[in-house]
Amino acid sequence: MAINTSGFGSYDIRGIYPESVNQELAYRVGRVFPELFSAKKVAIGHDIRLTGPTLSDALSRGLTEAGCDVYDIGQCGTEMIYFATGHKFFDGGIMVTASHNPKEYNGMKFVKRGVKPVSPKTGLLDIKAAIEDESRDWFFRKATGDVYKIDVMHDYIRCLLSYVDVKNFKPLKIVINTGNGSAGPIINELEKFLPFEIVKLHNNSNGFFPNGVPNPLLQDSRAETAKAVVDTGAACGIAFDGDFDRCFMFDEKGNFIEGCYMVGFLAEAFLKKNKGAKIVCEPRALWNTLDIVAENGGTPIICRSGHSYMKDAMRAENAIYGGEMASHHYFRDFYYCDSGMIPWLLILELLSQTDKTLSQVMGDRISKFPVSGEINTKVDSADTVKKIMAKIEDIYAKNGKVSKIDGLSVDFEDWRFNLRGSQTEPYIRLNVESRGDKALMETKRDELLSVIRG
């Protein structure tokens, strides 16, 4: 039977169910994963998507028929697979998720022994080639592995709380919008240990996503959280995507805080306790982070965005922290992996130790380095992305400093931009920032968009 591998991307598998992600694909991944990564024990789990259990079952069947024992933690967030793999010293972990993609999508993220990411350079293309190999006897049933249902919730919650001192927290009122995703049960458990009054929005997990697929990077997904913060007089708001490997913050006025400012905020927090440490950041919007790292005596490492690339850079540099403007935050002591739960706990601990509001804490940074936020333009093909990129480079590269670490970045004295094609969706993405000149940033943003969309 021919298999569709169009869902293989730069750092995971992601595609529409059942056209490009289905039980046959999941089964074959399970059959080849133990062989490729010498795995005898593998953790698996799935997010709230309706197709998650079916794909997990097919994946589990493939793993066990390849002689591997499966440790199934059930419905979870992606970081719980990272935690289970590292905490239990498993040989690998596979999360069935499509993160923030629309609900018709599903996919898989992989880590191998030591919670090391599986990228095109470290095995993802090997998985693709192996499952495309029709010379294999896909009908052979070895069936020597066992399946164990395990619960890592208690140990995982204890791990999260180890990043903060609960005694430092003030009894703040906060809004948390889990978007009917997988984060609800975690918030319910954490609530038992925290002094916060939590106003919960869409806290029940629901794979139909009755309030839309949770992706607070999209403007339309922010309004409800922002309104609830203002209406309830909360100190801040927190929103999650579906598999909660990212969290998004709102200040007490309901303003969405762009991820690049949170990267700088957390970088400063770590550098105050770890002088001279390395901080990994990515080039979409980075001037604020570079400024903070320099002020606090750290060393910046600029890396291509994407979880596998960031994790590889974190390990190679032994960086204490890394962050992306898309609100992925990586921690050396969390197996160099990203967590959506650790950041908001750290931020609220820091907020509890100051008399300033979150808008006051962030205001100076926002005015010093205004950003456009990521602006998406839908495209019809990869060729269109290439043509747009070439056109923009031809116009702007002559007078600026060009970098192609991730897409196209061009730096000028007072402003810069980054333009890149999405790895997972049919979009080209623009980010613009300036040095203290919001009007300039907006002018250049509009100028670039007119070319991109013209």
- What is the spatial distance between Cα 358 and Cα 348, in angstroms, rounded to a whole number? 9
Among the listed residues 20, 56, 60, 99, the single catalytic one is: 99
At residue 28, what are phi and psi to the nearest 5 degrees?
Answer: -65, -40
β-pairing, 173-177 vs 236-240, is: parallel
Reduced to 3 states, what is the DSSP secondary structure of residue 376?
Answer: strand
Helices and strands counted in the chain (H then E): 14, 22
From residue 102, alpha-carbon distances to 146, 203, 241, 395 in Å are 33, 19, 11, 34
CB contact at 8 A, 252 and 358? yes
The answer to whether residue 99 is catalytic is: yes
CB contact at 8 A, 393 and 451? no
Which candidate, 245, 270, 400, places its Cα nearest to that of 347? 270
CB contact at 8 A, 55 and 158? no
Residues pairing with 330 in the sheet? 322, 338
| Token reading at 410 | 């061009």
From residue 383, alpha-carbon distances to 5, 20, 315, 397 in Å are 20, 21, 34, 20
Residue 197 CB-half CA count within 13 A:
8
CB contact at 8 A, 401 and 380? no
The three-point CA angle 103-225-367 to 5° equals: 115
- What is the spatial distance between Cα 186 and Cα 191, in angstroms, rounded to a whole number? 8
β-pairing, 13-16 vs 278-281, is: unpaired
β-pairing, 415-421 vs 427-434, is: antiparallel
- The residue length of the chain stands at 454
Task: Supply the residues annotated as catalytic.
Answer: 99
